[in-house]
Amino acid sequence: MSSSDPASRLLLLMRHGKAENSSGQPDHERALAERGQSQARLVGEYLAAQNVEVSRVLVSDSTRTAQTWEGVRSQMTDFDGEVTSHEEIYSGGPSELLSLVRGVAPKHAVVLVIGHEPTISSLSALLADDDSDAGATAQARIGMPTGSMSVLSGSLENWEALGEDALTLHTIVRP
């Protein structure tokens, strides 16, 4: 999506790919398993095939989310957006993540967030309006599998206006 409508917004909320078992290391430092790396690349392929032009990426500061972004990014050859890492995506909940997204500059119409459960699914369900896909909304309420991404869009003048029931949840991409 690269919309000429300044009020058109696309929010992509992605759970990191499948991580390796902890084997005694801190959770924050867990790396992606081979399957997680594949999931990330498949989501990147999906975004590239759909001509989605992400201009802003918010990533948790954990190892597995950074590696998930690297995998997604590897398939998006034209990406030239802004990427930042945030501890609050790792440690916070839906309200902290919502605050981060509300802080995104209006010029960024397409935003990708890579984070963790249950925050990603909770925020997806919270933002979904009555026109949302029933199956996708049910999945968000249950929880999102590793590597999956919810696709939400709607008309907002800016991200500051983002609130409950503000976007349509179209699908959950499951690589």
Task: Quick: pLDDT tens for 144-161.
Answer: 999 999 999 999 999 999
Residue 156's domain comprises 8-173
Q: Residue 23's pLDDT is what?
A: 76
Please tell me whether residue 43 adopts helix, strand or coil conformation. Answer: helix
Q: What is the DSSP letter of 30?
A: P
Q: Which DSSP helix (H) or strand (E) runs through 59? A: strand 56-60
For position 78, which CATH number holds? 3.40.50.1240
Total H helices, total E strands in the chain: 6, 6
Q: Residue 81's pLDDT is what?
A: 95
Q: Residue 16's pLDDT is what?
A: 97
Contact predicate 139/172, CB 8 Å: yes
Residue entry with tokens 């996708």: 136
pTM: 0.95
Residue entry with tokens 């990330």: 40
Instruction: Establish if 1 belongs to a structural domain.
Output: no
Instruction: Establish if 2 belongs to a structural domain.
Output: no
Instruction: Establish if 3 belongs to a structural domain.
Output: no
DSSP string, 81-137: -EEEEEHHHHH--HHHHHHHHHTS-TT--EEEEEE-TTHHHHHHHHHB-TTS-HHHH
Instruction: Establish if 28 belongs to a structural domain.
Output: yes
* Intervals of the chain under pLDDT 70: 1-7
Instruction: Establish if 126 belongs to a structural domain.
Output: yes
168-173 and 149-155: which strand pairing?
antiparallel
Q: Tell me, rounded to whole angstroms, the distance of Cα 105 from its chain centroid.
A: 17
